[in-house]
Amino acid sequence: MKVTTIGRKVSLKDNFLQRVEDRLGKLDKFFSDNAEATVTVTVEKKWQTVEIAIKDRKMQFRSEQSADSMELALEDAVDNLEGQIIKNKEKIHRKFNGYAYFDDLAGVADDMDDYEVVRKKVFALQPQSVDDAILEMNMLGHTFFMFKDIVTEEINVVYKRKDGNYGLLIPE
């Protein structure tokens, strides 16, 4: 796996970079040699955040964890990724018809059921601006909101980020 490490507002020391390589090496068995991992470390006041994104073929895994130290955040993020992989092993294996590298997990999480949709909602999308969609999302108390963009007439999603800002998802 190719690992790229980025430090935002922090200079990363060699021993931390080696720790990143070692911890992600634990996940190598699940991915092909072409997998790419991007590790971004951000320091904000007393919190240190580690975000790990791994891409391999059409699979993407992502984890973001914050802690008092970047080492703890790294441990939590890697553990979270490993949990995602184990939890979704069967579904991923079926999707890629055996091409995924999950044979090492034989017997783990085999008893996991398919995802269960507990509620379906059908609604009409009214064309609106991004600002209006954010306003409506906030009035409803939701963390995301699907809407039809008034300019492009495409379906988009606005969402509230952990940092309090907003994001916009636009399909290609």
Nearest alpha carbon to residue 96 among 31, 163, 160? 31
Low-confidence stretches of the chain (pLDDT beneath 50): 99-100, 108-109, 111
Cβ atoms of 140 and 159 within 8 Å: the answer is no
Cβ atoms of 31 and 85 within 8 Å: the answer is no
Q: Identify the CATH assignment for 2-105 out of 2.30.40.10, 3.30.160.100, 3.40.50.2000, 3.40.605.10.
A: 3.30.160.100
Q: What is the pLDDT of residue 121?
A: 85
Q: What is the pLDDT of residue 100?
A: 47
* Topology annotation, domain 127-169: SHC Adaptor Protein (3.30.505)
Q: Which tens digit of pLDDT belongs to each residue from 52-98? A: 999 987 778 899 999 999 999 999 999 999 888 887 777 766 665 55
Cβ atoms of 107 and 129 within 8 Å: the answer is no
Query: How far is 76 from 66, CA to CA, in rounded Å?
Result: 8
33 burial type by CB count under 10 A (0-12 exposed, 13-18 middle, 19+ buried): exposed
Q: What is the pLDDT of residue 9?
A: 85
Sequence spans of domains, the chain: 2-105, 127-169
